[in-house]
Amino acid sequence: MRAALRALLLAATAGLVPLPITAQELVPSRPSRAAVALARRYLSSIDTSFAFQVDSNRTDYVLSGRSRAYGPSVLVVAGGAKARLIWDNRSLRRHDPFFAVSSPYDLDADADGPGNYVVMVSGCAAHMCAGESMGYALWASRTRQVYTLHLTDGQVSYRPQAGMPKSYLLRLNGMLCDDLTIDSFTDRQLALPVKCPPG
């Protein structure tokens, strides 16, 4: 999924694919002027933009770029005549050491039913990015809440520990499995409770 997303982003940046806004689908898109103006307060550059049609009057934007103070950052901005910030990953990076280090490529987003979407980011603890202390987070527009998975020395923990919707738990596990596949580990090698598909 991430490799396909990266290829799509590169093609969109090079102008090789159109940039439409489609309801309930993740598509590269040029954000509205109001969304860009708001994002410029937080980001020195906007590298990636995705749009989600929330209803007939509003499009939300997931923007990633470089923050002046925090490095790679992700913003969720409600579109419309007056844009407003809905969520950003700054508090996650400040208060959760598993997200101290991240890159702009550690972003994914997807539709989550009619008018809803999820934003997924990953990172690692400073000086512990070799699979020792990894973090995976999902922000859901439906609940306006962050759900996290932490991997520490082969042990997995989730936050919140109770009440996480199963679909979000599966998405977090999928993010972990994607990274294990990329890094040539297996769930068996790390003795994880998460069962990753072979690949």
pLDDT tops 90 at residue 182: no
pLDDT at 81: 78
Percentage of the chain surpassing pLDDT 70? 76
pLDDT tops 50 at residue 9: no
Record the pTM: 0.79
24: confidence class by pLDDT, cuts 50, 70, 90: low
Q: Which residues contact 4 (CB under 8 A, 6 or more apart)?
A: none
Nearest to 171 by CA among 195, 142, 138, 124: 138
Q: What is the pLDDT of residues 90-108, one digit of tens each?
A: 888 888 999 988 876 678 8
Tell me how far apart the alpha carbons of residues 33 and 184 are, in angstroms, rounded to a whole number. Answer: 42
Task: Enumerate the domain spans of the chain.
Answer: 18-190
